[in-house]
Every structure is written in structure tokens, then in C-alpha cells.
Amino acid sequence: MPRHSPGSRPVPGLLRPLGSLLLAACLGVAGGAAAADVPTREATLATMKRATRFMVEEVATEGGYVWSYLPDRSRQWGELEAYPSMIWVQPPGTATMGHLFLDAYHATGDAYYYDAARQAADALVAGQHDSGGWNYLIDTAGEDSLRKWYDTIGRNAWRLEEFQHDYGNATFDDGGTSEAMQFLLRLYLEKRDAAYRAPLEKAIDFVLDSQYPIGGWPQRYPHGEPVGLHGLPDYTPLITFNDDVAEENIEFLLMVHRTLDYERERVLDAIGRAMNAFLVTQQGQPQPGWGLQYTTPDLKPAGARSYEPNGIVTHATAANVRKLMDFYRLTGDSKFLARIPEALDWLDRVRLPEALVVDGRTHPTFLEIGTDRPIYLHRRGSNVSNGAYYTDHDPANTIGHYGSTRRIDVAALRAEYEALANTPPEQASEGSPLLNGGSALPRYFTLRDVSVSDLNVGVLRGRNDDVAPEAAAALIDSLDAQGWWPTELRSTSHPYIGDGPRTPPPGDYAQTLVGDASDTSPYRAETPVMGISTGAYIEHMGTLIRYLEP
């Protein structure tokens, strides 16, 4: 379940030091252990407990977490540098940690993990917006501290425009609200603790209240005074597909439908309208694809951030085709398959010429409405004060942090569609959680396909394979004396030094991840330092859980 804006940030590979360690373990030399060494259950449990005690008792801020920390805690980051008083909701932050704690509790039966999950939940509840949702982050020091952060670090993050203004409401962007809601639901179901019923129901109300009658959701809610940045209209009230807003909300409502009898009828209507929103927003010929956002009530495609122009969008089209196939599996209703061939044919028509296919990126991201001409993304200047994003039809010198092109396997989508179209509805929807009433949630959440990318570790996919004893031994050996797994912090940022100059300093920032020294956006460090990674902790704990329960 991807959690980050498409192309909005680099997705690094898995940890180099640990990868080398695991390789060495397989060769029988990691930590001096022989390849034949098989970690006992007791040794595995002790390592998990020690690593968790460090995170809970040494790292957490009032039960919550950001993404990464220097060992001395002199600096810490979520997507941007955070104050020591801050915790992050945007994954892999506090709710992701809560999910991991529940997973560890299920694997071990140790109440310490359940208590850690409660602490994470309490941190989220304390920062829950009055409407029932969450912002990207919570400042435990209060509104004055949060406002100062937005006016300094947030405002000067050139490429992260979503942080340049404090909207004062909640957001569905980047999966933070969705993951927090899912975690609260799991925690409530664990022991039906009444302390979490009210905030959970408040979150359910938030999803239902914010849904448009047509079925889609805005990026942010509740709507306040329009806030347009960089001379653009305010995009946050628009119906949003970007960053899986609709998909994540449907997933949460399906979880509620499966587990809370008293909410089943209420959420069923919302799920149906949400699925139908995918149908009514597909454009007609000759461009039967989707945009990232839509105006209301006329359902016209619209732009968002200054490097997200109005257009028909190839990766959004591919993602929505996948969702329509999922909806057929949920409902057995062939209406969700009816126009998929049109979308696939359009994706084939707008494929890039082979001369422009680089690194397997087969399609332009944005296509001009009415012409299908590719739109390419550029920037000039060096910071928020003197820089600007712009678009044209020239594929040269495009920005580096948001892809002007995408890798889309249309043939694979078409094969999946054809197989599904030849599957009878009752067979396709067999076992559907929507049609079969109540059912239990999965025992584990962080062991599925999940993003734990804190810009230092990668995206985990298909973690269903068994863990070799050598790999578990390598993890046990690599936990340091304090109780954390040393991780290369490849992502860093310039400390806030004030607003940037109005005149660009020397240098070419057209394709870099960061601008001049005043730009607080994250970038890759030339010389990474070792530090504490929330993502690495989640990843490694998941590996040890899989070792305990193959």
C-alpha cells in the first residue's frame, strides 16, 4: 500500500549495511557466527524486546515517533526536519509503529507490546483534529510551536508545497489519517477497550462527513477559507485520487464493515458511492483516462501542486483500472469492467516513442486535455523566494523529484482484465468481505506489502517468504549495545537559516532534490551518517516475527 506522492520523493533501496550483513551471514561470517547457528526463540524474543524498549523508552515523544533520528537526538526528521516535541502521523510514523506493536503482541503474547501500542494510540488521540482526522504531524508543545514550524521549516521546503501552509484541518494525503484510523480500529477490536471507541467513532464520522455525495473525498477537510499557493487555486477541497485517497478510505470502511456490526449499514452506502465515483470520473473518448483531482460538482479534471498540472494522468489511470478490477472482485458487478478496455487502449496510444523511453519509463505522466500532448515538468531559481515550477512540452531537463514519465505495464493490466472478464461474477467475488458479512481482520499488518520508507529504507513487498536462521542471526548480532539497529541516514536536510535570497545564488537547481542552503526539503546526503530509523526498526522486527512464525 503505497504511502507517498507518486514521484514526489526518491525511494531508496534497502539498507546497504544490513544487506551486506545478511549476505555475510549466509556465508557464515556475520557477527562471527557460523552459518549453522540457529537463533533460539528465546534469543529472538530478547532481541525484539530490547529493540522495542529502546524505541518506547528512549526514542518516543509522549508515545509517538518521527521517521529518523541522529543517535544523540540533536536532529530528527519526518518528511521534513521535526522539532523534538513533534511526532509524525504520515507513515511510517506513529500509527505504523502502533501496527507493528500489535503484530509483535500477536506473535509473542507479551503485554509489553500491547502497552506500547496503547501509548502510540494515546499519542494519536491527543493529536486528533476536532473533525476526527489527522494532519501530517502533531506538535505536543501546542499550536504556537506548530505555527512557528510552519512559518520557518515548512514554508521554506521548496518542493514540498503541502507543508508550506498550516491549513488547520485534517488531511487524507499520504495515508496518515487512513493508517491512524485502521490502527485505532485494530486496537479497539483487540480488547474492546472503551477508551478507544469514541476516537474511533469520531474517525468513522470524519470519513463519512467528508465524503462528497458523488462518492469521492477531498484531500483536506473540513474546508476553510481557500488557500491558493504560488498563484494557483486551492486544490485541497477537490475530489482526489492522488496518493490513494479514495482507495485508502474504501479499505478502512471495508474494515469497519467486516468488524463492527452496528456500523455496517451506515458504511455500506459510503462504500458503494465511493466505488461508483471511479466510474463517473473516467473521461469520455478520445481520452478515457483519469486525472488526479476533480472539481465539484462538475467533475472536471484539475491540477494540484504547481508541478501537478491539469491533465489526464497515466499512472492514475493505471491505478484506477486496478481498483475497478478489485471492485469487480468485491461486488461481482460487471459495470466495473465495462470501460476498462477503453482506458487500456488509450494507455497504449499515448506510450512514449522508444527513443524517449529511459529506464523502462514507458509513458508521460501528464497528457494535455484535448490533444494528448505530453506535459513535462521543470523549475527555475533556487528556493521558495525566487524559484518557480513551470510546464511545457519539452522532455529535456525535467525536475528530479517528481517523474515526468512513468513505467506502466499495459500488457500485464490487459492480461489481468481479460482473465477477470472471463471469470463468472459469483466466482470472482467468492469470499468478498463486502458480500459475506462479518469477518476477522488479518492477524498481521506490517508483514503485508507495506511502505516503511522513511527516505532511508525502502518499500517492502511480498514479505511472505520464510526467514532463514542466518538472516535472523544477522539481525540479532547487528543490534547495538543500546538497543537500536544502526542505519545509514541517507536522507538529510539543510537546517533552517531563514528565508532564502530573492536572487538565485550560483548553481543549477533545475534537477536537484534540494535548492540552495535555505531550502529545507530533504535530499540525499553525500556522506550518510549512522542513525536511528523507524522504518528500519519496523522492517527488522517484521523479519524476526516471520522467523518466529514461518
Per residue in 260-295, pLDDT tens? 999 999 999 999 999 999 999 999 999 999 999 999
pLDDT at 33 over 60: no
Annotate 535-549 with DSSP letters as a single string: HHHHHHHHHHHHHH-
Over residues 405-427, mean pLDDT:
98
Instruction: Quote the percentage of the chain above a pLDDT of 70.
Output: 92
> What is the pLDDT, as a whole number, of residue 448?
80
The beta strands (E) that lie in 98-231 are given as 137-139, 170-171, 220-221
Long-range contacts of 499-506 (CB under 8 A, 24+ apart): 499/155, 499/156, 499/384, 499/385, 500/156, 500/382, 500/383, 500/384, 500/385, 500/386, 501/382, 501/383, 501/385, 501/386, 502/385, 502/386, 503/386, 504/381, 504/382, 504/383, 504/386, 504/387, 505/382
pLDDT band at 463 (very low <50, low <70, confident <90, very high): low
> What is the pLDDT, as a whole number, of residue 35?
42
> What is the pLDDT, as a whole number, of residue 461?
52
Per residue in 359-401, pLDDT tens? 999 999 999 999 999 999 999 999 999 999 999 999 999 999 9
Per residue in 326-361, pLDDT tens? 999 999 999 999 999 999 999 999 999 999 999 999
CATH number corresponding to 16-548: 1.50.10.20
pLDDT band at 514 (very low <50, low <70, confident <90, very high): very high
> What is the pLDDT, as a whole number, of residue 459?
66
**Residues 384-417 as b or e (16 or more Cβ within 10 Å = b):** bbbbebebeeeeeebbbbbbbbbebebeebbeeb
pLDDT at 496 over 50: yes
- Number of other CB atoms surrounding residue 262 within 10 Å: 8
**pTM recorded for the entire structure:** 0.93
pLDDT band at 252 (very low <50, low <70, confident <90, very high): very high
Domain boundaries, the chain: 16-548
Over residues 153-172, mean pLDDT:
98
pLDDT at 105 over 70: yes
Rg, Å, the chain Cα set? 23
For 517, how many CA atoms within 13 A lie in the half-sphere containing its CB? 5
> What is the pLDDT, as a whole number, of residue 462?
53
